Each structure stands twice: as C-alpha cells, then as structure tokens.
Structure 1
Amino acid sequence: MENTQVKQPLNSMASKIAQIDELCKKAKILPVITIAREQDVLPLADALAAGGLNALEITLRSEFGLKAIRMLRDARPELSVGAGTILDRHMLKAAEEAGSQFIVTPGSTQDLLEAGAQSELPLLPGISSASEIMIGYALGYRRFKLFPAEISGGVGAIKALGGPFPEVRFCPTGGVSAANLKNYMAQPNVMCVGGTWMIDNAWVKSGDWGRITDATAEAIALFD
C-alpha cells in the first residue's frame, strides 16, 4: 500500500503554531495589502509601521506581490513580511523563494495544506466551515483564518466553533473594521484580525501616507 503520510519539515507544526501566535501577539492587526504600483511599496510599509503595524500580509492578487515581498525583505528587514492569497503549492513555493516569512491562504485544499505542512514557513489557512477546520486539524493545524469572516457568521460563528475546537484560534478577515474590531477581539479564540480599512485606495493613490499612519494608529488604539 502507498504511504500517504505527509512528510514533516524540520520546523515542526508545533513550532510553526508558536510562530503564528507570536506574530499575532505582536501584530494584533494583519493589514491585507494589494500593491497596484511598485512605487507605493516602501512608503506604504513605512506609513503602516509609523502607525504601529510591523507585520504585513502582501497579497499575490497583483503582478507586484512577489516583487514587493522581495523589496521589503531587502529594504525593511525589521518588518515581518508574509504572502497572502496563496492558492496552490506553486504559489507557495514562489512566495518562499521571494523571502516570505509566513503564508496566508483564502481557503483550504488538501494539496495546499499538505504543502504547507511540509514547508518550513508557518501557514495560516483560510476556512469558512467546521469541515475545513477538520481537514486542517488532521494535518496538525490549529490556527486558521476565518474568511470571509462577516459573511461566514462573524462573531457568532467564532463562538460556535469554539465548542468543538477548543484548541483552535482564529484570525477573522473580511468585513472586519473599526466598528466591529472590539467584538471580535473580545472572543477568547481570536488571536488577531486581518483588515484593509486603514489602507484606503484613494489615500494610497494620492500618496497621503500621513492619513494611513493616522488611521493605523487609531486602529491600534482600539486595543487599549
């Protein structure tokens, strides 16, 4: 019979869970960033860092995603830079090669979860149901991104999922804003949130970095 056991990396799943916990403890908010222009990469990162966000999720939704990760890892080594919108193992490999320090996915497939289990990088898989959690759980995952959070039941869903999955912690993303942030963070099984509300596209396009810094600082202040 063929052995289908997933080969575990030197960096164990327990170690990667600890890395995600530490990342979320420091970050509190993971800004979900899609780069439309290469010229925005560094000033946007600097604006977010000035407001208090030092962990950035750079999505691969645009042609500049991988290049932005490389630029930030080279020019801003003090930041934690991860890759988001990873859809398959090929994108995962490209993100690893670009220097990503963590991986975030919008959903979960068996193949992608297995690739993440084999990777040296911590992976935060996206889920929207108990069944998806169970697939990841079987491979050792205990930290998940609830996406899209509000459409998938929001705070109510997180409370309900806490019953059958007491070890699981969530990073809700999608519909999270300054208006409902405190409701999410009040849940004991929420470790951080993902959001975009502090990165208004109009501010980025006009280079209004000060407004992004102010919005970021206001978001961080909600945790006080």
Structure 2
Amino acid sequence: MNNLLPQDMTFRIDQLCHLGPVIPVLTIDNVEDAIPMAQALVEGGLPVLEVTLRTSAALKAIEAIARHVPEAKVGAGTIITPDDFKRAVDCGSSFIVSPGITTELLEYGISSDIPFLPGIQTVSEMMEGIQRGYKRFKFFPAEISGGTNTLKAFQGPFSDVHFCPTGGIRVNTAADYLALSNVMCVGGTWLTPADLVLAKDWAGIAALAKQACISARPAGK
C-alpha cells in the first residue's frame, strides 16, 4: 500500500466534530428550505451540517448553504462512490461522510484535501481504514449495531480511534454516547422533523437544536 491518509486530516476531522455535540443529518427535498433550515440549526448552536445525497435537491442544497450561510460547515453524506465524493466537493462540501467503506472510497479520500469520515460497522472494516491511516470513523447504523456497548468494546484494542455514531440516536440517548471517551459527537436525524419542515417552522427547528446542545451533553461535560 503506497499511500496513507495525511495525519493532519485526523486533526481537521477532530476540529469539525468538536464544534457541536450533534451533527444534524439532513435529507432536503426542496432547495428553498436549505438556507433557512441551516440558519436555524446554526442559531441553535449546531454549525456542522451533513446533507445526505438521498434527494435530487441535495447537491443544490449544499451549494446554497455553502454560499449563503458562511457560519455553517456543510458536508455531504451518503457518499457511495468517488464520483459522489467529487460532485459533493465541487458543490462546496467542506467534509464528506460515507455510510460504509470501499477500497475506492478510502483511496480517493487519501487523495483529496477535503476531510473524509468513512462509515464502519465492524472491526474488520475499521481495520481496513486504519491500514490506510484513518483513525476517525462514522459508526453506522449505531443503535442496531450494538450502540454504546459496541463502542465500549472497541475502546480496548483501538484506543486511539474515535467515532461519530449515527443511526437511531435520539436526544434522550445522545448523552450516553457522548459520555464515552472514544465518541467525538453524534449524528442525528431528529432535528428536522417532517412536520416542522413542511410548516417551515424554522424557529421550532432552532429550538430543537438548542435543546440538543443542552440535553445531549453528558453529565459533567
């Protein structure tokens, strides 16, 4: 193996993940919702936003947020291929998240100057990333993959590896994850419920973000 992820990429991922306890995971159907939604989440104290490439509006939404909400750090999620990675970066993504790993994605991430958080579920997948210099991962889908118990088990043999668990986490369980020393932040889909988005209740979304900043913090942190 010729190339390894540059060490400064680990530091850059850490910087992003420590800007807030929760990274809102956003599925945006209408581009016109992107800017006010991002503004509401930033106002609520959550400036790092992951827009999933699950809709036809996703790339335009990323572009709009990157251009018009400078306080936000907007990235792209549900990245499956290097082509997805490139298109997301071209639209202004400041970081990239994948639900899983492939050799092609890991190698493309090494060649890019944009921080990449690859998704893993198993020790074997994690070790594939570690061999290429990755030490920061998305743990997905967290809840059905053992949740905090699995992450505790990872701590022993992989003490220098940290995670952003995502998938099934709610405001009332986030603090349990954040209490673990190998968890940087959590990904959450609960911050933009469909009813509030449909009603364009951006104040309500800002309130959910503020609640997350308070409730998701584990005791003593």
TM range, normalised to the smaller chain? over 0.9
Question: Distance in 2 between the 1:95 and 1:138 partners?
Answer: 25
Task: After the TM superposition, list the runs of 4 or more consecutive aligned residues in structure 1 that deviate by more than 6 angstroms.
Answer: none
- The answer for the alignment partner of 1:5 in structure 2 is 2
Match for residue 160 of structure 1 among 113, 129, 153 = 153
Mapped contact 2:164–2:185 kept (Cα < 8 A): yes
| Alignment of 1:191 onto 2:188 | no
Give 5+ residue unaligned stretches, structure 1. none
In the TM superposition, what is the alpha-carbon distance from 1:76 to its structure 2 partner? 1.2
Mapped contact 2:20–2:213 kept (Cα < 8 A): no
| Alignment of 1:207 onto 2:204 | no
- The answer for the alignment partner of 2:63 in structure 1 is 70
- The answer for the alignment partner of 2:167 in structure 1 is 174
| Alignment of 1:50 onto 2:47 | no
In the TM superposition, what is the alpha-carbon distance from 1:182 to its structure 2 partner? 1.1
Instruction: Give the share of equivalent positions with the same residue, in percent.
Output: 45
CA offset digits 1:79-122 (Å, max 9, x no partner)? 11111100010101111111111000000111111111111111
- The answer for the alignment partner of 1:40 in structure 2 is 33
CA offset digits 1:168-216 (Å, max 9, x no partner)? 0010000111111111011000010000112111110111111111111
| Residue identity matched to 2:206 | T
In the TM superposition, what is the alpha-carbon distance from 1:77 to its structure 2 partner? 1.8
Mapped contact 2:164–2:184 kept (Cα < 8 A): yes
Give 5+ residue unaligned stretches, structure 2. none
1:27 partner SS: coil
Question: Distance in 2 between the 1:102 and 1:28 partners?
Answer: 17
User: CA RMSD of the aligned region, Å?
Assistant: 1.1
Question: Distance in 1 between the 2:109 and 2:60 partners?
Answer: 21
| Residue identity matched to 2:159 | P
2:75 partner SS: strand
TM-score (norm 2): 0.95
In the TM superposition, what is the alpha-carbon distance from 1:27 to its structure 2 partner? 2.1
| Alignment of 1:96 onto 2:93 | no
Question: Distance in 1 between the 2:24 and 2:31 partners?
Answer: 18
- The answer for the alignment partner of 2:141 in structure 1 is 148
CA offset digits 1:43-85 (Å, max 9, x no partner)? 1111111111111111111111111111111111221111110
Mapped contact 2:81–2:105 kept (Cα < 8 A): yes
CA offset digits 1:20-53 (Å, max 9, x no partner)? 1011111221100011111111111111111111
Question: Distance in 1 between the 2:91 and 2:214 partners?
Answer: 32
